[in-house]
Amino acid sequence: MKLFITGAAGFIGSNYLRHILDHSDDTAVVFDALTYAGNMASIEDVLGPRASFVHGDITDRDAVTAAMEGCDAVVHFAAESHVDRSILGPDAFVHTNCDGTNVMCDVANRLGVEKFVHVSTDEVYGSVEQGSSVETDPLDPRSPYSASKAGSDLIALSYHSTYGMPIVVTRASNNYGPYQFPEKVIPLFTSNLLDGLSVPLYGDGLNVRDWLHVEDHCSGIDVVLRRGDPGEIYNIGGGNEITNRELTDRLIELCGRDESAIDYVDDRLGHDRRYSIDCTKLRSLGWDTSHDFGDGLEQTVAWYRNNRSWWEPLKAAS
């Protein structure tokens, strides 16, 4: 199968590219605009006969059409994805996530691709005080980022309802692992701690997130690509719910620092208290996680410790 993978120079996309090259005979066209979060250093070692790169923007219909021609399936990662940036500048999020997804779906529909996986987030469900979100729950996004992702989900699903296009949507919890841009909490805190700096912890630090290793996310996406039913939504979670304070304490310990490194800062605007998703539907397709959170977090910190040449230029530029 020949895959068209958008945003594959980013965090999750680059890990997914590695996953399919390691676990299948598939080939891939990588399509990425190389914004601040796209990094050729994340994929250049795996480009070659089975993976080619095209520099392009998902809102550019002509560029998408030319690059997607001849592909069998689409896995759509490309998105603006940082909540703090969306609060400061929401326009780019609506343009990329909604307009870009519409272009992607329209082109894929016209070209007759066999499967389209739209990769989304658990943040579209909003804050979950009790229990866990299931795929049929109403959406309640509370930031420009999550609202633009909810909009893109609905755009994608509308192409199935209207045109019968074979689209599936995945919604994942917070990811961690190698090649994550250092504005996100785990690489930001890890790199700061390794450099002897403080870490900015929002509010009281008691917001709860479920952490999913990026390799488990990639395996879940691949199961959905090959076995998921068109028109359906699949949650992908790690089953590792902890507070931001507990996560910070773990990172401090792994980096050999103490709690004096914590700098409590004003809470983020509209900061959701808790996310939690039920993954029963995906597990029924045979998927499960394979990474223990403690081991995975330790391995992730070790990766950032050993790969300064990857993240130091990114932090310096931003």
Closest by Cα among 176, 162, 185 to 214 = 176
- Select which of 32, 57, 122, 272 is catalytic: 122
H or E, element range at 217: helix 214-227
Hey, is 230 helix, strand or coil? Answer: coil
Question: Could you tell me the sign of the dihedral formed by the alpha carbons of 120, 78, 59, 143, in that order?
Answer: positive
β-partners of residue 133 are 277
Residue 105 contacts by C-beta under 8 Å, 6 or more apart in sequence?
116, 118, 155, 156, 159, 165, 167
Tokens of 263: 């700098």
The count of residues in the chain is: 318
Strand ranges inside 157-216, DSSP E: 167-172, 174-176, 199-202, 208-213
Amino acid identity of residue 15, one-letter, is N
* Bridge pairing between strands 233-236 and 167-172: parallel
Q: Which residues of 53-66 are buried (b: 16+ CB within 10 A; e: fewer)?
A: beebbbbeeebbee
Annotated active-site residue in 26, 32, 123, 210: 123
Q: Which amino acid is at 244?
A: N
Choice among 145, 159, 176, 179 that is catalytic: 145
- Residue 239 sits at φ, ψ, to 5 deg, of 70, 30
Q: 155, 58 in Cβ contact below 8 A?
A: no
d(CA 39, CA 49): 20
Active site residue 123: yes
Known catalytic residue: 145?
yes
304 part of the active site: no
Q: CA–CA separation, 279 vs 48, rounded Å?
A: 35
Which residues are known to be catalytic?
Answer: 122-123, 145
